[in-house]
Amino acid sequence: MKSFIKKLWFLFFVLSLSLIICSTSFGQKSYKELKYPPLHELKIPEVQREVLPNGMILFLVEDHNLPLIELSCLVRVGSVYEPADKVGLAEITGAVMRTGGTAKMNGDQIDEELDRLGATIETSIDLNQGTAYMSVLKEDIDRGLPILADILMNPQFAQDKIDLEKMNQRSWIARRNDLPIWIADREFSKLIYGDSSVYARTVEYKTIDNITRDDLIAFHQKYFHPNSVIMGVWGDFKTPEMIQKIKIAFAQWKTAKLDLPELPKVDYHFRPSVHLVKKEDINQTNIRVGHSGGMMNDPDYFALTVMNSILGRSFSGRLFKEVRSEQGLAYHVGGGYQCNFDYPGLLSLNCETKSQSTIQAIKSMMEEVKRISQQEVSDEELEMAKNTFLNSFVFQFDNKGKIVNRLLTYEYYGFPLDFLQKTKENIQKVTKQDILRAAQTHLHPNDLVILAVGKDSDFDQPLSVLGVVDTIDISGTEKKAPIESFEATPASLAKGKEILDQVTSASGGKDAFKSIANSVVKTETSVSTPQGEFQLSSTGFHIFPDKIRQEISMPFGTIVTVFDGEKGWMMSPQGTQDLPESQLKEVRSEFFRSHFHLFLADDLKAQFMGEESLEDKKVDVILISDPAGNQLKMYVDQMTHLPLKESYQGTTMMGPATVEEIFSDYREVSGVKTPFSITSLANGQKIAETKILEVNFNTQIDPELFIKK
């Protein structure tokens, strides 16, 4: 039954794609018939800028609609500053600042306090900035603000939290080739910026192993100072009072001399090249076409913005209309000329197409780059692109948080604070001649870098028809992440085994599980997405130990996925296709996590990790692993000895994530205790809630259900 949860994100992608197709194909009116009324003048709230004596810059705007206060920070730090032999240091520092606690409160105590307050505090560090965020009720600001200040000023970097974050990083390394889109994005960046560039380098097992707690402390001490922080606050407060509260909270943080290294330059030479990443287990190709991009302070930025909309950044763009709609070559196609604040972006056109149309799709994309740099766009295209931007302009101001965070960004990168308003004014002035001139200046249709990730033996033509092919070997990046032992001792292993035996007994005992040959499980699941919730129903057929069939009812038909113990396939109204190896790996991992395996396997190692509190219950935590490197943490109720939660490193449609499954409503079925309610989370965010409607063991299952037809 649990394997159903794992596929929800993949299936949601199918659902979203179908809804998009329907909405763009069966509309009542052509977009040409739409009439746009004049835009109302925007009333932009006044934001106060304040510089504290310690150098911290504040932006504040009052919003008394809700009794809530939110705060965000940008910090002048980033992975661009970490040593080449310690890639991953910045990201780990940003994560453990929050999870590792402070001298006053450890990370778990902070979690408990924030839960009590209904508040949120988060920290992170990415490529070129650090961030912090807090959301708290107005009445609790005097409790929440000092906690945030303590985290920013005095993180303790607890070793156990560092170890956990390192495990997350290693898990990501092990899974980063699971989806072709990840491979394409990663390798294309390397082709443009260079393998060792700070803008494209990747975390590796070795660089993670090189990172110590002292490194995190030193990194924080070098880059975290009040005069490197820009803070925005919005919500239900009086501005003078809030400024005073922030002064008091950060009073002990002293100004320091900032010694930020100069950002590395991008040394790019325009020349054509063709590259291939072989993936023999897929039947479609992920394509990237492009070259180096530009900067947002370029005078052509406004013309390039309009050009992007016409070329590929919308459903009315040329790439979508020509490559997808007219020629039917792509499941997805788009992209454009990216400009960044502080280093050149990318011209990146991307496409997913069946293997047999790879070369045709690439040539079509290249033709659109050439056409827009040789001919003026039409009056209709210009009007549509400008209206698309201008009519969406209001959504840049639809809440105070967007306004404040945008000002933080402009301040951080040294842009005028009214840059967005100037962008609107300049977009209105863009002409067809401006677009052609900008395209001819910035696009190089004869010097495109081409990357294809796919099964080249199935391509419609050899990739070499486009030029000499460089084959990129990614096999060295597919190693299995090492098993985390957390200093296993004979005592911890013995106690872990004892607890797992107790769980097995409380769940029904080995004999009960051995007597079950198959199961049929019916479920209803509510899937949480940014667009809202979707309700799905499913029937799962499982012949133990390793055959499974899931039939999932969708609004547009039934999706069936089958694994027969060796291979897998998916059947939908659009036809049948084999599951790629990345999907098969996930299915096999699910078999490891099945309770029918965990309670019967003889080759598992269970290690006691300590006691924790889960809601109002005391739980024992055990780490279960097998010789193949699969792992999960099981949280066991000390009273009932039943699992209340399991966590593991998995893959969602948003990428690798720490997945948690919370079990409740246990019922006995044929002598086996089964949870009838499962809540699934990814990185702390709920992604699904499953209710089991019916469970039947040792029933009649037609063997034909597991035969591909």
Whether residue 314 contacts residue 388, with contact meaning beta carbons closer than 8 Å, is answered with yes
- Mean predicted confidence (pLDDT) in 224-233: 97
Residues of the chain above pLDDT 90, percent: 65
Say if residue 476's pLDDT is above 70: no
What is the DSSP secondary-structure string of 540-580?
EEEETTTEEEEEEEETTEEEEEEE-SS-EEEEETTEEEEPP
- Mean predicted confidence (pLDDT) in 195-217: 95
- Mean predicted confidence (pLDDT) in 480-501: 75
Whether residue 688 contacts residue 653, with contact meaning beta carbons closer than 8 Å, is answered with no
d(CA 393, CA 421): 9
Least confident of 129-143, 228-242, 577-591: 577-591
- Mean predicted confidence (pLDDT) in 677-686: 85
- Mean predicted confidence (pLDDT) in 170-175: 84
- Mean predicted confidence (pLDDT) in 277-281: 90
Say if residue 580's pLDDT is above 80: no
Radius of gyration of the CA atoms of the chain, in A:
27
The DSSP call for residue 194 is -
Say if residue 578's pLDDT is above 90: no
The alpha carbon dihedral of 606, 609, 613, 614 has a sign of negative
Structure confidence at residue 511 (pLDDT): 92
Q: Where along the chain do its domains lie?
A: 3-16+483-706, 52-176+202-249, 265-401+416-477
Band of residue 41 on the pLDDT scale cut at 50, 70, 90 = low
- Mean predicted confidence (pLDDT) in 120-146: 96
d(CA 229, CA 218): 18
Nearest to 428 by CA among 396, 385, 398: 385
Say if residue 10's pLDDT is above 50: no
Say if residue 280's pLDDT is above 90: no
- Mean predicted confidence (pLDDT) in 254-267: 91
pLDDT tens, position by position, 51-70: 999 999 999 999 999 999 99
- Say which amino acid occupies 438: A
CATH class for the region spanning 265-401+416-477: alpha beta
Structure confidence at residue 16 (pLDDT): 37
Say if residue 416's pLDDT is above 90: yes
Phi, psi of 612 (to 5 degrees): -145, 170
Q: What are the CB-based long-range contacts (under 8 Å, 24+) for 374-377?
A: 374/440, 375/436, 376/432, 376/433, 376/435, 376/436, 377/307, 377/310, 377/432, 377/435, 377/436
Say if residue 92's pLDDT is above 70: yes
- Mean predicted confidence (pLDDT) in 233-256: 96
E strands in 338-417: 339-340, 346-354
Largest Cα separation within the chain, whole Å, is 79
Q: What is the mean pLDDT of the chain?
A: 88
Our CA angle for 550, 552, 554, nearest 5°, is 160
What is the pTM assigned to this prediction? 0.71
Structure confidence at residue 446 (pLDDT): 96
d(CA 449, CA 293): 12
Lateral strand order in the sheet of 57-62: 48-51, 57-62, 229-235, 68-75, 130-137, 120-125
Structure confidence at residue 42 (pLDDT): 57
Say if residue 9's pLDDT is above 50: no
Say if residue 486's pLDDT is above 90: no
d(CA 192, CA 200): 9
Higher pLDDT, 631 or 135: 135
Structure confidence at residue 480 (pLDDT): 46
Q: Same fold for the domain at 3-16+483-706 and the one at 265-401+416-477?
A: no
Structure confidence at residue 332 (pLDDT): 81
Residues of the chain above pLDDT 70, percent: 90
The DSSP call for residue 399 is S
d(CA 90, CA 124): 8
Structure confidence at residue 155 (pLDDT): 97
Whether residue 361 contacts residue 351, with contact meaning beta carbons closer than 8 Å, is answered with yes
Higher pLDDT, 107 or 17: 107
pLDDT tens, position by position, 603-644: 899 999 888 888 778 999 999 998 877 889 999 999 999 999
Higher pLDDT, 350 or 11: 350
Structure confidence at residue 566 (pLDDT): 85
Whether residue 88 contacts residue 207, with contact meaning beta carbons closer than 8 Å, is answered with yes
Topology of the domain covering 3-16+483-706 = outer membrane lipoprotein receptor (LolB), chain A (2.50.20)
Structure confidence at residue 5 (pLDDT): 35
Say if residue 555's pLDDT is above 70: no
Say if residue 8's pLDDT is above 50: no
Question: 52-176+202-249 belongs to which homologous superfamily?
Answer: Metalloenzyme, LuxS/M16 peptidase-like (3.30.830.10)
Q: What are the CB-based long-range contacts (under 8 Å, 24+) for 200-206?
A: 201/84, 201/87, 202/87, 202/176, 202/477, 203/87, 203/88, 203/91, 203/169, 203/172, 203/173, 204/87, 204/173, 205/170, 205/173, 205/479, 205/481, 205/482, 206/85
Say if residue 656's pLDDT is above 70: no
Say if residue 17's pLDDT is above 50: no
Higher pLDDT, 133 or 33: 133
